[in-house]
Chains A and B, each alone.
Chain A
Amino acid sequence: DAGITQSPRHKVTETGTPVTLRCHQTENHRYMYWYRQDPGHGLRLIHYSYGVKDTDKGEVSDGYSVSRSKTEDFLLTLESATSSQTSVYFCAISAGDSGYTFGSGTRLTVV
C-alpha cells in the first residue's frame, strides 16, 4: 500500500539467530502496529507504538521486542528465532481517527 513498506518481503533464517523486520511509513502517522498471521489463528497483535519511543505489548508479545526511534520506522526484533515464529508478519499504521493501512507483509520462515 502507498505510504507503508515492509522489508524484507521474504526471509529464511535458522533457529537461534536474531532477526529484525522493518516497517517504514511516509504518512507521518502516530500509531504503528505489528501483527502476525498464522493459519487457524487469524491476525494477532504483537506490539504497537503510539509515538516515538512509546510502545506497548499486544496479545502475543513473548519472544519479540520493538523499537521506534523515529516516527517513520517501527522495528520488530526476534532476539532468538524459533520455529514457532514462522509466520507472516504485517505492519499497520493509523492516524488514530481513521482506518488502518496495512503493509504487504513479510513471510518469515525459521528452520
Chain B
Amino acid sequence: DAKTTQPPSMDCAEGRAANLPCNHSTISGNEYVYWYRQIHSQGPQYIIHGLKNNETNEMASLIITEDRKSSTLILPHATLRDTAVYYCIVRVERSSASKIIFGSGTRLSIRP
C-alpha cells in the first residue's frame, strides 16, 4: 500500500471548517483513500473514503485532487468533540490481504 504524509498537528477555531491535508504521491490506480480518527483512548473511528471523486457524508467531506496525489478531509463546522488524531490511509479494497497500516496521523486541536 502507498505511503501517506500528514502534518503532525493542526488547530482550528470552533465553528470553523477544519481542513486536514494528506499527501499520497505514490498511490496506485486501484487504491482508495480512507480517513479515520481516534479520540483519546478510544478505538479509531471510520470517517469517509473515496477513489477519485469527491465524497461527502454526515461527518465530513473528502476532496481528492485530479491526479490523486493528495487529498483533504474537511470537517465543515468543527466542534470541541472533533479534537482527535486523524489518520489518512490508502489501501486496495476487496483485497485478500485487506489490511491497513496506520501512520502517525495529524493531531487536530479545536480551540473554543
Contact = CB atoms under 8 A, between A and B. Distances in A.
Interface range for B: 20 to 34
B86 interface: no
A92 B104 CA distance: 18
Q: Is the interface of B mostly helix, strand, loop or mixed?
A: loop
Interface of A: 1, 31, 33, 35, 42-45, 48, 50, 56, 58-59, 88, 90, 92, 94, 96-105
Given A59-B101, A100-B36, A100-B100, A43 B94 contact: no
Interface stretch (B21-29, B39-47, B74-82): B39-47
A105 B38 CA distance: 12
Given A42-B105, A96-B93, A105-B41, A58 B99 contact: yes
A99 B47 CA distance: 8
B112 to A, nearest CB: 27
B49 interface: yes
Nearest to A43: B102
30 contacts: A1-B43, A31-B98, A33-B99, A35-B102, A42-B102, A42-B104, A43-B38, A43-B44, A45-B99, A48-B99, A50-B96, A50-B97, A50-B98, A56-B97, A90-B44, A92-B44, A96-B93, A96-B94, A97-B93, A97-B94, A98-B46, A99-B36, A99-B46, A99-B47, A99-B49, A100-B36, A100-B46, A104-B42, A104-B43, A105-B41
